[in-house]
Amino acid sequence: MSAVATKSPDLAPITDIASLREDFPALQQRVHGQPLTYLDSAASSQCPQAVLDAVVRQQSLDHANVHRGVHQLSERSTLAYESARERVRDYINAASEHEIVFTRGTTESINLVAESLGGSRLSAGDEVLITWMEHHSNIVPWQMICERTGARLVPAPITDAGEIDLEAFDRLLTDRTRIVAFVHISNALGTVNPARELIAKAHAAGAVVVVDGAQAMPHKRVDVRDLDCDFYAFSGHKMFAPTGIGVLYGKERLLEEMPPWQGGGEMILTVSFDGTTYNALPCKFEAGTPNITGAVGLGAAVDYLARIDFAALEAHETALLGHASERLTEIDGARIIGTAADKASVLSFVIDGIHAHDVGTIVDAAGVAVRTGHHCAMPVMDRFGVAATARASFALYNDDDDIDRLILGLRQAVELFR
Amino acid sequence: MNELQELYREVILDHNRQPRNFGAIDDADRVIDGVNPLCGDRMTLYVKLDGATVQDVSFRGTGCAISVASSSLMTERIKGASIDETMNLFEMVHDMLTSDANEPPDKLDKLVALAGVREYPSRVKCASLAWHALRAALKGAEHEVSTE
Ligand SMILES: Cc1ncc(COP(=O)(O)O)c(C=O)c1O
C-alpha cells in the first residue's frame, strides 16, 4: 500500500464552490435541534472527508516514528511525512523543502523566529516594527525578545477603517528597524494588508520580514516567492487540516544562519559531552518526534485546496461578505468593526446594548456558531473603543442560508434584550 | 428559546438594563479589579466597611448581561449585611453556579435568577466574577482577581 496520497494534477480546477460543502461531515449535523451554521472558521475550520481519511489511514496502517527506522512502517511514515512537506512547499511555491519547518502552529512558528532570529540579531537600540492589528501571537513573542535584548517594539497605528496607516508605517520604518512583523489578514477586522508593498518597503529599509499568514491561507493562494517575505507562518487548523500542526516558511539563507531553537532528537547529527553538531535544514528546527499524523493531514488539506480555483473561491467569499454586511444593517444598533477596502470574509460587529458574549449565546441556541470576545487582539479592541465584538467568519463551505440563520439569531437577540 | 429564557430571566435583563449600585465609592475601604481573561471583561468593586458590616458597595466596568446583572444583584443583596453572612452567601452562590445537584436554597432569594448559567459552562465565569472580587475584597486582598 502506498503511504503517499497521489496528486491529481490533471483534474480540472473546481469552480463550483457551493459543491464543496458536502465534503465536510461536521456541517451535516444539527446542534440544539437546528442545522449547524458554522461561522467560526477564523478560529478553527472544519476538515473535509479527504483530510479525515488521510489521518485515519496514516494512524491506522502507516504509523511509526520517522527518520529513524529501517523497517517498512518507518519507511512509509517517513515518506508520508516528507511528502507532506514537499506538497506544502509546492503549494506555497517555496524554493526548497529545506525552507518548510513543521511546527505546532502559527504561534510556535513566530516564537521560533523571534527567539532564534531575534535572539541572535537584536540588541539595544534596535527596533521591531509591528502593527496595531496583530494577534497576541505576533505581539507577545516580540515583546519577550525585546525585553531580553534591549530592543524596542514599535507598533504602527491603524486607521478608523482598520487599515495600516501607511504614512505612519513609513515614518516608523527607520534604519533602526531590524525586523518587521505583520499580519497578512487580520483575524479581528478582516483587513487584507498590502503584503507585497509592505515587504518591499521593509526590505528597502534593510529589515527582515515576518508575515503572520494564519488567516490568509484559507482565503488566498499564497506564493511566498511572489510576496518575497523572509518568513511566513501559518496553522493547519485554519486551513481545513487538524490542530497541532503548522508551518514556518523561511528563506534558506536566513534559516541556515539562525541558531537552533529547541534541542533534542532529530535536530542533531552527533552528540557528545564535548559538543553537538546540528542536523541540516529543516530538521535543525524540528527537535523531537514531530506531529507526523498532523503533517499528513496538512498535506491532504493542501491537496484539497490545490484543486480549487481561487478566483472562484474569492468571488464566493466576497459575495458572502457583501451579503452578510448588507443584511446586518437590518439589525437595530449593529455596527461593523473593520471596514477596510480590501477585506476577507471576516465580519466583526457590535450591537448597541447587547454585549457580544450574550449575542454569541443567543445565536448558539439557533445553531449558529460565532466567536465572541477580544479575538486575541486586545489592542484592536482598545483602538475601536470596544471590549469585545461578535465575529462571523465565512469559509469556502458557507452559503447564503448560513447568513439567513445568523440574521434570524441576531433578531432574537435584539428581541430578547429590548 | 426555553433554555435561553431560563438564562436571561426578566430579573437579569432588568439589572443589565439598569444596574444598581453602579459607580465608584470615593472613600471605599477596599477596591478590587476583576478580569475575565476569556472575554476581556473588567469590573472594579468598591466596598466600604463599618466594622464587620458591609456599609456600602458598588461596581463599575463593562461586561455581558450575566456579569453586570450578577454584580448588580450582589451589591443590592449584600449592602448592610455582615461579612460573615456575605461569605456564607458567596459559598451558596458558588454552589448554585457550579453544581446542579441541589435546588438552590430559598435564602438566596432573588439571586436564584443566576441559576440558569449552570446549563452554560462557558458563562459560569461571567456570573462568578463579581463574587470572586467580593471575596477577595473582604479578605483584604489588594491585587487583581481573575476568573482563571
Ligand atoms: C492572525 C492570527 N495569527 C495567529 C494566530 C495563532 O494561531 P495558532 O493559535 O494556531 O497558533 C491566529 C489564530 O487565532 C490568528 O488568527
Note the pLDDT tens digit of each residue in A130-146.
999 999 999 999 999 99
Q: Which of A298-302, A306-310, A338-342, B106-110 has the lowest mean pLDDT?
A: B106-110
A218 CB near ligand 1 (under 6 Å): no
The pLDDT value given to residue B144: 66
| CB-CB neighbours of A51 under 10 Å | 26
Interface test with B, best of A31, A348, A357 (most B CBs within 10 A): A357
Contact (Cβ atoms closer than 8 angstroms) between residue A378 and residue A24: no
For Cα atoms A253, A257, A260, give the angle at the middle one, nearest 5 degrees. Answer: 125
Judged against a pLDDT cut of 50, whether residue A53 lies above it is answered with yes
What pLDDT, on a 0 to 100 scale, did the predictor assign at position B137?
A: 92
What is the mean predicted confidence (pLDDT) over A227-242? 98
Interacting residues of A161 by C-beta distance below 8 A, sequence separation 6+: A338, A339, A340, A341
Which pLDDT belongs to residue A171? 98
Class of the CATH-defined domain A58-306: alpha beta
What digits encode the pLDDT tens for the residues B47-105?
999 999 999 999 999 899 999 999 999 999 999 999 999 999 999 999 999 887 678 88
Interchain CB distance below 8 Å, B39 and A373: yes
Contact A374 B40 (CB under 8 A): yes
* Mean pLDDT on A32-57: 97
pLDDT score, position B142? 57
| B-chain residues near A387 (CB < 8 A) | 39-42, 62-63
* Average pLDDT of the segment spanning A164-187: 98
- Please state the length of chain B: 148
Residue ranges of domains in chain A: 17-43+309-417, 58-306
Residue A2 has what pLDDT? Answer: 44
Classify domain A17-43+309-417 by CATH architecture: Alpha-Beta Complex (3.90)
Mean pLDDT of A84-100: 98
Q: Please, are residues A141 and A220 in contact by the beta-carbon 8 Å criterion?
A: no
**Residue A369 pLDDT exceeds 50:** yes
Query: A139 CB under 6 A from ligand 1?
Result: no
Helix, strand, coil: what percent of chain A each, to 5?
Answer: 45, 20, 40
Q: DSSP for B94-137, please give it.
A: HHHHH--SSPPPGGGGGGGGGGGGGG-GGGHHHHHHHHHHHHHH
In the stretch 375-404 of chain A, residues with CB closer than 8 A to chain B read 378, 381, 387-388
Name which CATH class applies to B2-146: alpha beta
**Distance, CA of A242 to CA of B66 (rounded, Å):** 34
d(CA A380, CA A131) in angstroms, rounded, equals 10
Task: Supply the pLDDT for residue B38.
Answer: 73
* Residue A3 pLDDT > 50: no
Name the pLDDT band for A11 (thresholds 50, 70, 90).
confident
Max mean pLDDT among A297-306, B103-112, B139-148 falls in: A297-306
Most B CBs within 10 A among A40, A350, A358, hence the mutation to make, goes to A358
On average, the pLDDT of chain A sits at: 96
Q: Order of strands, edge to edge, in the sheet holding A334-337?
A: A334-337, A346-351, A389-393, A371-373
Mean pLDDT to the nearest integer, A316-331? 98
**Average pLDDT value for residue range A118-140:** 98
Distance CA(B14)–CA(A94), nearest Å, equals 58
Q: Out of B7, B8, B41, whose CB is closest to A387?
A: B41
pLDDT bucket at A85, cuts 50 / 70 / 90: very high
CA-closest candidate to residue A49, choices A84, A98, A83, A5: A5
Instruction: Determine what percent of chain B is predicted with pLDDT higher than 70.
Output: 92
Average pLDDT over residues A162-178: 98
Cβ(A398) to ligand 1 under 6 A? Answer: no
Q: Comparing C-alpha atoms, which of A304, A390, A320, A306 is closest to residue A348?
A: A390
3-state SS track over A250-285 = ECHHHHHHCCCCCCCCCCEEEEECCEEEECCCCHHH
Could you write out the DSSP letters of every residue in A358-375? HHHHHHHHTTEE-EEE-T
Q: Which residues pair with A179 in a beta bridge?
A: A128, A208
Q: What is the rounded CA–CA span in Å between residue B40 and residue A136?
A: 13
Task: Say what the pLDDT of residue B31 is.
Answer: 94
